Structure 1
Amino acid sequence: MTKRNLNEDDPLDDFAGRQMTLNDVTKKVHVAGSGPAVIVMTEMPGISPHVARFARWVRDAGFTVYMPSLFGRDGAVPDAEEGMAVFKRACVSAEFRAFAANASSPVTVWLRALARRAHEECGGPGVGAIGMCFTGNFALTMMLEPSMLAPVLSQPTLPLNNPAGIEMAPEELAAVKQRLDREDLTVMAYRFKGDRFCTAQRFAAYQEALGDRFIARELPDSAANRETAPFFAQVVGSPHSVVTAHLIDEEGQPTVAARDEILAFFRQRLANRQPNKAS
């Protein structure tokens, strides 16, 4: 993968920008690669150069990446003032449930349709997805779509006002748990131990709801990159973004090990797994 300056806006010129209309809603989706589909959902405040770098790692691992534009300015370095404006707009948007535990964000219906379309276009056993921060829980809700096989939750942050809350309707959570058990599937999840937005209480709530189907990874705060863009330094203010802004791209680093485990998870579920006849 070509090295890019992560402190400069990323033109995303190695992705094809597609306007995709699903359920009568049109969003831009950046697509690249070949092989089974993986949906990379951006963290707040948008598709930063670090998010794009992670998407390229997924692409180079042998997958077709679908990276939807959900908020913010695509490719922009996360500025504190602009990032806060994006965050505030998302919090009041009808597409998201930023402050509601036990309720799924409406945008997840569109994302499930995206997973279905991506599977139709790419084939294979199914689709993977990773959500980060504001979108962190979305990959779990997307398990209501039968083509979804490999959900990854990276520092799931919603609901913002309930550290132990799960941003998902109880009946949907129960349906996903039944599916995980029935099809022998698991959910991978990642956080830093000192993350003040994705707390230990939240992971405990997931563990209680999903049992041993929820595989949690908690990284030490010392593993986080300290040199971050203004939004993360001034607004986030704690280790948070496991595979993007706070990843240290050096061999032997815990964040790189987390990235590699996620890529291996996608390979195991999407490249090697046989389709489940019951699904």
Structure 2
Amino acid sequence: MTGTPETHGDNTHADDPLDDFDRRPITLDGATKVVHVSGCGPSVIVMTEMPGISPHVARFARWVRDAGFTVYMPSLFGRDGAVPLAEEGKAVFQRACVSAEFRALAANVSSPVTQWLRSLARLAHQECGGPGVGAIGMCFTGNFALTMMLEPAVLAPVLCQPSLPLNDPAGLEISPDDLRAVNERLVRDDLTVMAYRFAGDKVCTAQRFAAYEQALGQRFVARVLPDSAAHPEPPPFFKRYVPTPHSVVTAHLIDEAGQPTIAARDEILAFFASRLAA
């Protein structure tokens, strides 16, 4: 594993061509999705936040890659590489909310897309080897890394500002049976779940983290960052429709040494390294 991620410059204000990723259509469980793949070493599934694989999400994926991992970044919604514009992002969000793949407004159920993502983790482990796979979800996909632990290959789950269900601040986007199975695995395999949010986030609330803590106990390791640590000028979609600090390692990250969001990024990379090192 390498240490400090490489710096690629701040190109997050323009669309990202993602030309340093291999664009692979991957068919699993009868469904085909584009997955952007780059790097070498153990695999990490990077699941995008709403409204899609933005330049900020791609920047984070590159940090993971440069830390010594193979990144698998599936296209789940939105326009890949696009700067999150306000109205375009709103339309993507509205379509995702009614999509059969997601359960945006239902607590105590697991989104159907997590089955495909578990199969992707299995494939990534077969292709890259190593002890297992890391997975990080953000916002709309925030809880998916937890449900993906039903796949034995997933060893390092990270939940960044998990936002579903949207209409229940204390709800969990996972079925009771799946939650029970994940809990049993956490104990059996001595694993932990890392989770991140901003203190004043009204989308991923303190009530939600409290519900996770009640459900998972000490296996749930929560990090709550002060609102003052958030970037004051996020992209247009976030500025208009996300009224509080929200995206810890992407849109609201301040890319400067000593910033709490950079410390969170580095802790996530170290977590992947500790779990996935041969």
TM-score in terms of structure 1 length: 0.97
Give, in whole Å, the separation in 2 of the partners of 1:207 and 1:256: 24
Between the aligned partners of 1:220 and 1:181, the Cα distance in structure 2 is 31
* Partners of 1:3 and 1:229 in 2: CA distance: 17
| Aligned counterpart in structure 1 of residue 39 of structure 2, from 25, 28, 33 | 33
- Whether 1:170 and 2:180 are equivalent positions in the alignment is no
1:197-242 deviations in Å (ceiling 9; x for gaps): 0000000000000000000000000000011111010011110000
In the alignment, the residues of structure 2 paired with residue 264 and residue 4 of structure 1 have an alpha-carbon distance, to the nearest angstrom, of 23
Q: Root-mean-square deviation (CA), in Å?
A: 0.6
The reply to whether residue 79 of structure 1 matches residue 79 of structure 2 is no
Runs of 4+ in 1 over 3 A off after TM superposition: none
Q: Does 1:234 align with 2:240?
A: yes
Could you give the per-residue CA deviations for residues 14-33 of structure 1, whole angstroms, max 9, x where no partner exists? Answer: 00000000001000000000
2:102 paired with 1:102: no
2:271 maps to 1:265: yes
Asked whether 1:120 is paired with 2:126, we answer: yes
- 2:97 and 2:42 map into 1 onto residues whose CA distance is 32
User: 1:74 Cα deviation (Å)?
Assistant: 0.2
Q: CA separation in 1, counterparts of 2:106 and 2:45?
A: 24
Structure 1 stretches lacking a partner, 5+ long: 273-279
Aligned partner of 1:11 in structure 2 is 17
- C-alpha separation in 2, matches of 1:201 and 1:238: 16
Identity among equivalent pairs (%): 76
Q: Does 2:147 align with 1:141?
A: yes
Q: Distance in 2 between matches of 1:6 and 1:132?
A: 18
TM-score, normalisation: structure 2: 0.97
CA distance in 1, matches of 2:243, 2:82: 19
Which ranges of structure 2 fall in alignment gaps of 5 or more residues? 1-5
SS of residue matched to 1:247:
coil
The residue number in structure 1 matching 2:250 is 244
Alignment of 1:189-208 (within 5 A): 189-208=195-214
Matches within 5 A, 1:199-218: 199-218=205-224
Corresponding residue for residue 277 of structure 1: none
For residues 43-81 of structure 1, what are the alpha-carbon distances to aligned partners after superposition, in whole Å with 9 as ceiling and x for unaligned?
A: 000000000000000000000000000000000000000
CA distance in structure 2 between the partners assigned to 1:196 and 1:231 by the alignment: 16
In structure 2, the partner of 1:276 is none
1:106-140 Cα deviation digits (max 9, x unpaired): 00000000000000000000000000000000000
